[in-house]
Amino acid sequence: MNLYSVKMRASRAGEHVSGAEKIVEASAAAATAARLVERALNHEKGTPDFVNVKLSAPGEIIRLKALAVTNNVVASAAEGRELAIELLERDGIARAREIMELLPQTHSMRGAMLIDADTLERLDGDGERGVRATCMDDAESSVKGTASGKNHYAEAMVLATKVQNAPGIIGEICVSDDPAYVTGYVASPHLGYQRISAIKEKGDSNGGRIFIYRGRREDVPAAVEFLERQSVIVEDVPVLDSPLPERRFSGIAAELTAIERAGLMRECRVLDKASRSLRRGGVLILSANDYLSLADDPRVIEAGVAALRRDGAGSGGSRLTTGTYPVHRNLEAHLARFNGCEEAIVFATGYMANVGTIQALVGKGDAILSDALNHASIIDGCRLSGAEVVVYRHGDLSDLARKLSLCREYRRRLVVSDAVFSMDGDILDLPRWLEICRRYDAFSMIDEAHSTGVLGTCGRGLAEHFACGHPDVTLGTLSKALGSEGAFVCGSRDLIRYLRNKARSFIFSTAPSPAAMAAADAALSVLESDPSRVDKLRRNAAFFVEELRRRGVVVETATPIVPVPVGDEHRALAASQALWGRGILVPAIRYPTVARGAARLRCAVCAGHDVEELAFAAQAIAEVLQTV
């Protein structure tokens, strides 16, 4: 049989994007090469600027029987990593945890790290290249492959089978660098192929592999020679079992159990809105985003009630059919004037505003630059858009500029950031950020959910705070400082007309209720007529921070969002529950809202708090943190 090895390697700006290899009959070589090129050009990590395809005779081929497969379903990536360590330890690799901790060092390597199982000494000799296991394929890849020639499971099985047949290799850890593929595996001659359903978070483009060796140093070259040059065909790759229907809810139950054990279970707490002051014997709410305390303002309430009586309980349709009332257009015009923009458009929620706006502005062939700590609604909008998403380090504008400079070939570039980051309380450096966006002709979009009504002398947000220009797209919410419900986008007349016709979450959603729109309009009028509320909010936040620090609680913030670091998820939950027992509601913010091990108490100060309440809360927090 006349066979050819068809190898594809793709990169962009020198960084690996995709790679694959097939061993096929000569008659299929051209079609296989075409499929691999198609695969390279449609990779989750983006479009490469260099694709190399190499055809060569594979040399002598040995045939190996595929490893036995065990499919391990886990509830989280963290549980998956722990299982990988446990499996290797069970197989006699005592330093498995330390080996797992080396995995980040492989992220930038072109091949695998080869280490001694007992000393952890590097044996590959080239820290950047590592060992590249090549010259291999599945005997039935043409059957098992997809239209683009890609089958994660079959390719991983081929690799694992070859590696575990190399002399001296006793184990392997592998994590894919495909951001859409969270499954990984560990393998050994005794364990076989242990597939783990989640070993990293979705969207993480970091991957790598470690080959674990035990034997004489003089035999290492033979192992490397086998891995890199011996041609292998793997036979009888097992079909991966599909989950049976009756397992569906057992899987959900297992995930719930894992969430609870990790201290990450969330429940809804029912509160009586009328009892918000300690002096009235109720609960002190130190968690609401009603920063200016306008949700309780009689003028705001009366405006909502009047609209309810006049226009009814609901809008009755989408904005483009029967759902637009005068109160919607009045609010949009008011928001545009308040923000110094040409026009505004109202959405039902902030989540829908972010998802709809991002999806309207960018798609396949475009690039989004997104801050690493952006809100989940921005992250989801990015993922759903189909554009390539490039995450830059939180607040690191040099990293943003560097990554933007590599995205010139995209049709459109959108840079998106929170104005105030909701879990940390820090502020975007808008002037520098805008300069970088304009330097590279990128759309600029900020989410002012936590800065409208909070920053600037009159609460007009980040541009007023810095006395600088506006971004192309300013998104804000009606549900925080303005005390109502809904969200808005402000910008040029063309931008708003475009969103009205392209933003699917606007087009295909029932319009917000007239009552909510009227209440938000009234709140905006109250803010404009009495900006002293913004100053009261700042003074309250500064007082609360000082009270915490005076009692030994270390906090850093530039806004009324005051995160109190705790670290451990269970401890944060215990602290929140202890404060609830004292009549104070402060939520424990845990993974996945923040990074694992970075749990915190998130305090939110409002203009309506008085200093006695804030001092009481600061004392309670300090005492509770000493006891949990």
Instruction: Report, as residue numbers or ranges, the catalytic residues.
Output: 422, 450, 480
Cα torsion angle, 514, 515, 518, 520, sign:
negative
| Backbone dihedral angles phi then psi of residue 627, each to the nearest 5 degrees | -110, -20
Q: Are 42 and 26 in contact (CB under 8 A)?
A: no
DSSP for 67-133 reads PPEEEE--SSHHHHHHHHHHHHHHTT-TTHHHHHHTGGGGTT-SSBEEEETTT--B-SS-TTT-B--
Q: Which two tokens stand for residue 7?
A: 């190898």
- Of 608, 607, 603, 555, which is closest to residue 579 (Cα–Cα)? 603
Q: Which residue reads 């927090």 in tokens?
A: 621
Tell me how far CA of residue 159 lies from CA of 28, 99, 610, in angstroms. Answer: 22, 19, 64
- The strand pairing partners of 447, in sequence order, are 418, 475
Q: Collapsing DSSP states into helix, strand and coil, what is residue 447? A: strand
Q: Which residue reads 């929140």 in tokens?
A: 576
Q: Which two tokens stand for residue 90?
A: 């069970």
Q: Are 115 and 102 in contact (CB under 8 A)?
A: yes
Q: Which two tokens stand for residue 61?
A: 């081929």
**What span, in angstroms and rounded, lies between the C-alpha atoms of 165 and 63?**
11
Torsion angle defined by CA atoms of residues 93, 96, 99 and 100, in that order, rounded to the nearest 10 degrees: 150
HSE-up (13 A, CA, CB side) for residue 165: 21
**What span, in angstroms and rounded, lies between the C-alpha atoms of 465 and 83?**
49
**What span, in angstroms and rounded, lies between the C-alpha atoms of 587 and 595?**
16
Q: Are 513 and 313 in contact (CB under 8 A)?
A: yes
Q: Collapsing DSSP states into helix, strand and coil, what is residue 614? A: helix
Q: Quick one: how far is CA 169 from the chain centroid?
A: 36
Side by side, the strands of the sheet bearing 388-392 are: 343-347, 487-491, 473-477, 443-447, 413-418, 367-371, 388-392
What are the residue ranges of helices labelled H in 429-581? 430-439, 462-466, 493-502, 504-507, 514-529, 532-550, 569-581
Q: Are 115 and 212 in contact (CB under 8 A)?
A: yes
**What span, in angstroms and rounded, lies between the C-alpha atoms of 353 and 153?**
37
- Of 42, 201, 32, which is closest to residue 17 (Cα–Cα)? 42
- Which positions ≥6 away from 110 have C-beta within 8 Å? 16, 128, 129, 130, 132
Helix axes 430-439, 397-405, angle to 10 degrees: 10
Tell me how far CA of residue 112 lies from CA of 15, 228, 377, 602, in angstroms. Answer: 16, 11, 36, 42
Neighbours of 203 (CB within 10 A): 14
Q: Are 380 and 400 in contact (CB under 8 A)?
A: no
